[in-house]
Amino acid sequence: MAVLASVINILGMVFLAHAVYSAYEHSLLPSSSVPQPPSAILPAALDLRVNLPLDITLETLFSAFLLCVGVVLSSPGLKPIQWNAWAGKLERSKEAREIPEVGVGGGNPYAGLEERPGFLDVRGRRKEFAQWIQQDAVGEKS
């Protein structure tokens, strides 16, 4: 498959180079320098002043199509996105736990989100408040 993709890419490049060269040569012809009458269909902003022959236009489109097909065929296969499998694999590996860039403590890629300084831990604050109330209640009874 890689050989076929390379051949298609090379053919697309050859056709594109030929189309560009043909367009350049056509622009140098004395008949192509004659201004074209404005189009009755297209607005003035979209009206092209260069009148390329149909074969050059089709060759350009064909070469672009070949290049697109060749690039798609030569690209590697897509891998499924499974963040939970990736994170679990990282947490279980010893090498990832030793790398500090993976997470805050290493190993857990989501640890940075859980241990960030600006993160308000509501459950932890609730427990602290309940302990403070219990200590206050014990202090009043004594």
pLDDT (tens digit per residue) in 46-99: 766 667 889 999 999 999 999 999 999 999 877 656 777 766 776 677 666 665
Where among 52, 74, 96 does a domain terminate? 74
Residues 91 and 54 in one domain: no
Report how many domains make up the chain. 2
Q: Assess whether 107 and 60 both reside in one domain.
A: no
Q: Which two tokens stand for residue 85?
A: 């499998």
> Are residues 92 and 69 both part of a single domain?
no
Q: Indicate the residue among 50, 74, 98 that finishes a domain.
A: 74
CA distance 19 to 75: 26
Q: Domain range holding 47?
A: 2-74
pLDDT, tens only, 102-128: 444 455 566 666 666 666 777 888 889
Question: Are both 11 and 34 inside the same structural domain?
Answer: yes
Tell me the angle at which helices 2-28 and 54-74 cross, rounded to the nearest 10 degrees.
160
pTM of the model: 0.51
